[in-house]
Amino acid sequence: MLSDSDLTALLITLKLAALTTLILLLIGTPLAWWLARSRWRFKFLIEAVIALPLVLPPTVLGFYLLIALGPNGPIGGLMQSLGGQPLAFTFTGLVIGSVFYSMPFVVQPLQSAFKAIGTRPMEVAATLRASPLDRFFTVAVPLARPGFLTATVLGFAHTIGEFGVVLMIGGNIPGQTQVLSIAIYDHVEVLEYSQAHWLSGGLMVLSFLMLISVYALNRRFSFHNMGDST
């Protein structure tokens, strides 16, 4: 069964995943909209930076974030000069690292969803004198619901499964920065396979259920849109 430290790690993990996903949706939505609509010739550079965590080893990204958030880094040094504490080995540091690491899993589905809308619905709304902001919230966002669902689930699930980045930035401080993936590693390291099975199996079931929900709801949205078009 789960120990108190395991339950604490579970709560920290869920809190980290929820907060990271919320921040990514707030940041990623306007960014994805701009990427989907912009004709800037160097847009691919921004897309490459966003997609970098997909190919970069997590420990590499975690290492450079650790340097940046540490007392001698630009961000950590600035925090220290303002009377605060460096962000390395803190929950806030975990959130910052998770935002960077999970960004492509939120931005890319949203960008694809916005691209799929096309220009016609927005042009029709413009002829009805809807403002750009009104067109975005009343036309683009509802039409991009499958993309928002996919982005939310993938961002949340990917954050839950993080290991290398969170270990580099947050270390392994029980009750503060120890997340489920690190707790599983600790159990395996001391041959506590029963506890590792409970945590690993729970994460596997949770991830599988979230993916099932995404595919089922996207399938429902597709049938609904087909019915509307006929």
**What is the per-residue pLDDT across 106-131, written as a single tens digit (0 to 9) for each?**
999 999 999 998 888 888 888 888 88
DSSP letter for each residue of 176-227: TT--HHHHHHHHHHTT-HHHHHHHHHHHHHHHHHHHHHHHHHHHHHHHHHHH
Say which range, 52-56, 191-195, 226-230, has the weakest mean pLDDT. Answer: 226-230
Q: What is the mean pLDDT of the chain?
A: 88
pLDDT at 27: 96
pTM exceeds cut of 0.85? yes
| Structural domains present in the chain | 4-38+90-229 (1.10.3720.10)
55 CB contacts (<8 Å, ≥6 apart)? none
Q: What is the pLDDT of residues 164-186, one digit of tens each?
A: 899 899 888 888 999 999 999 89
CA distance 17 to 32: 20
**For the purposes of burial, counting CB atoms within 10 Å of the CB of 8, is it exposed (0-12), middle (13-18) or buried (19 or more)?**
middle
Count of beta carbons in the 10 Å neighbourhood of residue 212: 10
The pLDDT of residue 230 is above 70: no
pLDDT range class, residue 228, cuts 50, 70, 90: low
